Amino acid sequence: MGMNKKGFQVIPRGQGGPHDQGNSGSPGRAPTNDERFHALEEFANEAMQIINNQGEGLKQMGGRLGEIMFKMGKLDEVVQLQRIALRVQRDRQNAFMRTLVELGTIDEEILQAGFDIVENRILPITSEGRVNGSVYVSRYNTPTEMPVPQGVNRT
C-alpha cells in the first residue's frame, strides 16, 4: 500500500480498496472487463483529440487518467494505458507514458511494471515495437510419417 505523487492511494487488488468496487459504486462488484475497457475507450478517444496539443492538453488528460487509474486497479490500468498509447500514436508511446510520470499521475514503479508486463508478452507489441507471439502449425489427418520441419512449432 502506498501513495503516488499525485496523492492517489494505491491499494493492491483484493484488499478492499476502492478499485475492488465497481465503477458503479456498488460495494463488492468489480467492474467488468467491458466496463473497464469502455471507460478507457472513451478516454482514448478524448486523448486522441488532445494529445497533439502538448503541455496543457496532457495536463488535462493526466487528471482524468488518474481518476480512471484510481478506480480500476493498478495492473489492468497499466496494461490498458499501453493499449491506449498504441492507439494514439505508436512512436510517441514512450513519450506519452513518460510525460504522465512527470506529471505525477502515475508512479515510475507502475510505469516500469507496465513495461515489464509488455515485455512478458501480455500485449502484442513491446515498447520497442516488436511483435510478441509465435506461429504454430496444426496437422489434420495427415500421414503420420511426415517429419516436422525445423523452425516449425507444432500444436
Partner 1 sequence: MRLITFSKDVKMDDGMEPCRKGKRYIVSDGMFQQFKENFADGTIDGVFPFQEVPEKRYNGQDLTGKTLLVWRTGGMGDLCFITPNLRYIKETYKDSKIHFGCGPRFRYGVMHHPNIDKLVPLPIDYELLEKADYYLMFEGIIENNEQAKHTNAYDLFEAAFGFTGKISLEKKRPVLGISPDHLKVAKKMFSDFRKKDADGQDIPIIGIGLKASHIIRSIIPPHIHQMMGILIQNGVMVALIGGQEDKDIGNMLPLAGHPMVLQCYKHSKDYRDTIAHISQLDGLIGPDSSPIHMAAAFEKPVVGVYGPFPSALRMKYYKNASGFDAKPMCSPCFLHGIETCDYSDSHSKEPMCQHMHNPELIVKEMLLLLHYTSTQASPQPMALKQL
Interface with partner 1 (CB under 8 A): 83, 86-87, 121-125, 131-143, 145-147, 149, 151-152, 155
Task: Tell me the closest approach of the beta carbon of residue 93 to partner 1, in angstroms.
Answer: 13
d(CA 105, CA 107): 7
* Closest alpha carbon to 115 in 104, 129, 133: 129
Least Å from the CB of residue 138 to partner 1: 5
Give me the count of residues in the chain: 155
Non-local (6+) Cβ contacts of 32 within 8 A are none
Closer residue to partner 1, CB minimum distance, 44 or 101: 44
Of 27 and 149, the one with the shorter C-beta distance to partner 1 is 149
Nearest to 105 by CA among 72, 75, 60: 60
At residue 130, the 3 state secondary structure works out as coil
In the complex with partner 1, the residue whose CB is nearer, 38 or 121, is 121
* Residue closer to partner 1 (CB basis): 111 or 123: 123
As measured in angstroms, the least distance from the Cβ of 90 to partner 1 is 9
- Nearest approach in angstroms of CB 6 to partner 1 is 28
CB of 16 within 8 A of CB of 27? no
Residue with Cβ nearer partner 1 (15 or 134): 134
* φ and ψ at residue 153, rounded to 5 degrees: -90, 125
